[in-house]
Amino acid sequence: TFGAGPSQKERSSEPMGDAHYRRLARRMDTMHDIHQRFAFDLTQALGSAFQAQGVTVQWPVFGAGMQYPPPDSPPAEEGEDSDSE
Protein backbone atom coordinates (compact mmCIF):
# COMPACT_ATOMS: atom_id res chain seq x y z
CA THR A 1 0.00 0.00 0.00
CA PHE A 2 0.95 3.65 -0.32
CA GLY A 3 1.64 6.02 2.58
CA ALA A 4 2.34 5.68 6.27
CA GLY A 5 3.13 2.45 8.09
CA PRO A 6 1.80 1.18 11.44
CA SER A 7 4.17 3.37 13.48
CA GLN A 8 2.65 6.55 11.99
CA LYS A 9 -0.86 5.31 12.84
CA GLU A 10 0.15 4.70 16.43
CA ARG A 11 1.73 8.15 16.73
CA SER A 12 -1.16 10.07 15.18
CA SER A 13 -4.55 10.36 16.83
CA GLU A 14 -6.19 10.32 13.38
CA PRO A 15 -4.49 7.89 10.97
CA MET A 16 -3.90 8.73 7.33
CA GLY A 17 -7.15 7.46 5.88
CA ASP A 18 -10.02 8.29 3.58
CA ALA A 19 -10.22 11.91 4.73
CA HIS A 20 -6.65 12.53 3.61
CA TYR A 21 -7.26 11.06 0.18
CA ARG A 22 -10.54 12.95 -0.16
CA ARG A 23 -8.70 16.22 0.55
CA LEU A 24 -6.00 15.24 -1.95
CA ALA A 25 -8.62 14.39 -4.59
CA ARG A 26 -10.37 17.72 -4.03
CA ARG A 27 -7.07 19.55 -4.44
CA MET A 28 -6.32 17.63 -7.65
CA ASP A 29 -9.80 18.47 -9.02
CA THR A 30 -9.20 22.16 -8.31
CA MET A 31 -5.82 22.06 -10.05
CA HIS A 32 -7.39 20.24 -13.00
CA ASP A 33 -10.12 22.89 -13.30
CA ILE A 34 -7.53 25.69 -13.23
CA HIS A 35 -5.43 23.91 -15.84
CA GLN A 36 -8.47 23.29 -18.03
CA ARG A 37 -9.57 26.93 -17.89
CA PHE A 38 -6.02 28.14 -18.62
CA ALA A 39 -5.62 25.74 -21.55
CA PHE A 40 -8.99 26.80 -22.97
CA ASP A 41 -8.15 30.54 -22.70
CA LEU A 42 -4.70 29.96 -24.17
CA THR A 43 -6.17 27.96 -27.06
CA GLN A 44 -8.76 30.65 -27.73
CA ALA A 45 -6.12 33.40 -27.73
CA LEU A 46 -3.68 31.52 -29.94
CA GLY A 47 -6.50 30.45 -32.24
CA SER A 48 -7.61 34.07 -32.66
CA ALA A 49 -4.03 35.17 -33.33
CA PHE A 50 -3.57 32.48 -35.99
CA GLN A 51 -6.98 33.22 -37.48
CA ALA A 52 -5.93 36.85 -37.92
CA GLN A 53 -3.08 35.52 -40.08
CA GLY A 54 -5.52 33.35 -42.07
CA VAL A 55 -4.22 30.05 -40.68
CA THR A 56 -6.54 27.21 -39.70
CA VAL A 57 -5.74 25.88 -36.24
CA GLN A 58 -7.15 22.69 -34.75
CA TRP A 59 -5.84 21.57 -31.38
CA PRO A 60 -7.25 18.90 -29.11
CA VAL A 61 -7.93 20.31 -25.66
CA PHE A 62 -8.77 17.54 -23.20
CA GLY A 63 -10.20 15.40 -25.98
CA ALA A 64 -12.27 18.15 -27.61
CA GLY A 65 -11.05 19.41 -31.00
CA MET A 66 -11.25 23.19 -31.33
CA GLN A 67 -11.15 24.53 -34.86
CA TYR A 68 -10.45 28.06 -36.05
CA PRO A 69 -11.08 28.25 -39.80
CA PRO A 70 -10.09 31.48 -41.54
CA PRO A 71 -13.07 33.76 -42.35
CA ASP A 72 -12.90 33.09 -46.10
CA SER A 73 -12.86 29.29 -45.84
CA PRO A 74 -15.76 27.58 -47.65
CA PRO A 75 -18.32 25.81 -45.40
CA ALA A 76 -18.01 22.63 -47.48
CA GLU A 77 -14.52 22.18 -46.02
CA GLU A 78 -15.94 21.46 -42.56
CA GLY A 79 -18.84 19.37 -43.78
CA GLU A 80 -21.40 21.60 -42.10
CA ASP A 81 -22.49 25.24 -42.10
CA SER A 82 -20.20 27.38 -39.97
CA ASP A 83 -21.70 30.26 -38.02
CA SER A 84 -19.66 33.45 -38.05
CA GLU A 85 -19.53 35.16 -34.66
Q: State the pLDDT at residue 80.
A: 47
Q: How far is CA 46 from CA 60, 66, 83, 85, in A?
A: 13, 11, 20, 17
Cα angle 21-32-15, degrees, rounded to a multiple of 5: 10
pLDDT of residue 75: 52
What pLDDT digit, counting tens, does each position of 12-45 carry? 555 567 888 888 888 888 888 888 888 888 888 8
**Domain residue spans in the chain?**
16-77
